[in-house]
Structure 1
Amino acid sequence: MSLEKEQKINYLLNSQPSGAVYLSSWLMENGFSTQLLNRYKKSNWIYSIGRGAWMRTGDTLTYQGALFSLQRQANLNIHLGGKTALSLLGKAHYLELSTKQIVLFGSSKEKLPAWFSNYDWGLKVNYHGSSFLPPKIGLQTLEQGAFSLLVSNPVRALLECLYLVPKKQELVECYEIMEGLNNLRPKQVQELLEKCTSIKVKRLFLYMAEKAKHDWFKYIELEKINLGKGKRSLVKEGVYISKYRITIPKALQNYE
């Protein structure tokens, strides 16, 4: 192998954290042709994990390393959200940490690449593409091993949980999470609620925050939040909350 090619492969091997996936699109942007990648493959420097994705030989593949590459190389908005984010941030201690499944959120126009969806990560990947929240707000950085990943902050994560109600998320469980969020920043809550486009999510969030009697709730400017018109019902036979014009399960209304 020529000196130039050795320098290129050394750059390749040292440019990302150990265990990161290398996306073909990113590699080509950085001067690595398909022909050159195939030569590296034959030399056993790298190996393919699916179309458009490579790993360094000897590295261990994890979903964290894959997600890191989707965020940092492909600049996708796909991130750990919902209950997974809450668990990782220590905001849902009683919940089982997501060792059997993870929740990912991305924008409505984004999809997980086939190599990610088809790979057996040893856990279930629940991906939800939606634009009910803007892609760039309500996120924070969390260190996961060698990787610095973008995850939903507690406010956004709970809003994502409420988005999945009632078919994919238990509403009472959302309230149990809300009860523990007693130190949220009103400014963060206000911004996300103002920019959230789901009427259901906003009404449920405000109802639960008020029910939980959090101090930060009194600083929320309700008049700036669009709660829509008409009634919303989550169940056929429930309890109607007139202030938020929403029908909720009796179990939530009676929860102490």
Structure 2
Amino acid sequence: MSTVKPSKINRLLKLQPSGVVLISSWLTEQGYSPELLRKYRNSNWLTSIGTGAMIRENDQVNYLGAIFSLQQQLGLNIHPGAKTALSLHGKAHFLDFAQQQVYIFGHSKENLPRWFQKYDWGVKVNYYTTSFLPADEGMTTIRKDNFELSISSPARGLMECLFIAPQSQDLMECLQIMQGLNNLHPKQIQRMLERCTSVKVKRLFLYLAETCGHTWFKYLNLEQIDLGKGNRSLVKNGVYIPKYRITVPQEMQKDESPEL
């Protein structure tokens, strides 16, 4: 005969929306002891997905439901970023997601829990910790299934793409993404670029925006944006762009000859 009190288990199941992970340390803070949680598992109310994490029995949880829990239960800044955020915004529908990869970003020193790393989410997880932008800069909230999730805005998503380029992100794809960002707000972009600490990201972002001829680019005050010193060679045998002191792939400047 089960010793689980229906009222308490019902309250637990209402604490969080369906489709998310229930993290043991957070549940303990809510008054659910390890012994009680073990009873819930034995009674098939909860199922373990790794040390310190559970889901409702028969609940369908994907990586987004796990990220929700990291944000809401642990207070972490870990979020969908780069192309994954752009896809969630509907801004990257033309990109190739055949390999089913997702890009997740956290602020410096924020690590993915072991249960998150070990669990099979059905996608390849690429995780990056960065501090080139403040944790709260350029973030937005979307509704996904039964919960709200904090993700990168389209502008921050592109900046994250540029941060991992060219090693983990194709620069020509970044150009394609920028072409679709014609409705950005110059005041917000100005603030992001002023607070951004990556010279590479700022130079590439401005170069791509100017190349695409976006109207909002004209309202940026480049004198207030620190673009650093020296040259940045991003690719071999590329084209040097004197204004931004960067070397980009030749296909970005088809009408220009590379400077040696």
TM over 0.5: yes
**CA apart distance, 1:122:** 1.2
Indicate the residue corresponding to 1:91 in structure 2. Answer: 91
- For the structure 1 residues 111 and 139, does the alpha-carbon distance in structure 2 shift closer, same or farther, using more than 3 Å as the test? same
For 1:22-41, list aligned pairs within 5 A.
22-41=22-41
CA separation in 1, counterparts of 2:239 and 2:16? Answer: 53
What amino acid maps onto 1:144 in structure 2? K
Indicate the residue corresponding to 1:214 in structure 2. Answer: 214
CA separation in 1, counterparts of 2:98 and 2:226? Answer: 33
**CA apart distance, 1:97:** 5.0
After the TM superposition, list the runs of 4 or more consecutive aligned residues in structure 1 that deviate by more than 4 angstroms: none
Conserved 8 A contact 1:87-1:98: no
**CA apart distance, 1:58:** 2.3
Indicate the residue corresponding to 1:82 in structure 2. Answer: 82
C-alpha offsets along residues 7-65 of structure 1, whole Å, 9 cap, x if unaligned? 32111111111121110111011111111111212222112110110111121121121
Conserved 8 A contact 1:47-1:55: yes
What amino acid maps onto 1:93 in structure 2? H
Establish whether residue 203 from structure 1 lines up as the match of residue 224 from structure 2.
no
Indicate the residue corresponding to 2:129 in structure 1. Answer: 129
CA separation in 2, counterparts of 1:24 and 1:178? Answer: 41
C-alpha offsets along residues 183-228 of structure 1, whole Å, 9 cap, x if unaligned? 1011111111111111001000001111111100011111111111
**CA apart distance, 1:2:** 6.6
Aligned length: 255
- For the structure 1 residues 242 and 236, does the alpha-carbon distance in structure 2 shift closer, same or farther, using more than 3 Å as the test? same
What amino acid maps onto 1:34 in structure 2? P
Indicate the residue corresponding to 2:106 in structure 1. Answer: 106
Q: SS at the partner of 1:19?
A: coil
TM-score of the pair, normalised by structure 2: 0.93
C-alpha offsets along residues 118-151 of structure 1, whole Å, 9 cap, x if unaligned? 1111111111111111111211111221121111
Q: 5+ unaligned residues in a row in structure 2: which ranges?
A: none
CA separation in 2, counterparts of 1:70 and 1:138? Answer: 19
Indicate the residue corresponding to 2:174 in structure 1. Answer: 174
**CA apart distance, 1:93:** 2.8
Q: SS at the partner of 1:135?
A: coil
What amino acid maps onto 1:193 in structure 2? L
Give RMSD over aligned pairs. Answer: 1.7
Indicate the residue corresponding to 1:146 in structure 2. Answer: 146
CA separation in 2, counterparts of 1:166 and 1:100? Answer: 19
Q: SS at the partner of 2:149?
A: strand
C-alpha offsets along residues 218-248 of structure 1, whole Å, 9 cap, x if unaligned? 1111111111111111123221111111111
Q: SS at the partner of 1:61?
A: coil
Identity of aligned residues (%): 58
For 1:34-53, list aligned pairs within 5 A.
34-53=34-53
**CA apart distance, 1:92:** 2.0
- For the structure 1 residues 21 and 98, does the alpha-carbon distance in structure 2 shift closer, same or farther, using more than 3 Å as the test? farther
TM-score of the pair, normalised by structure 1: 0.94
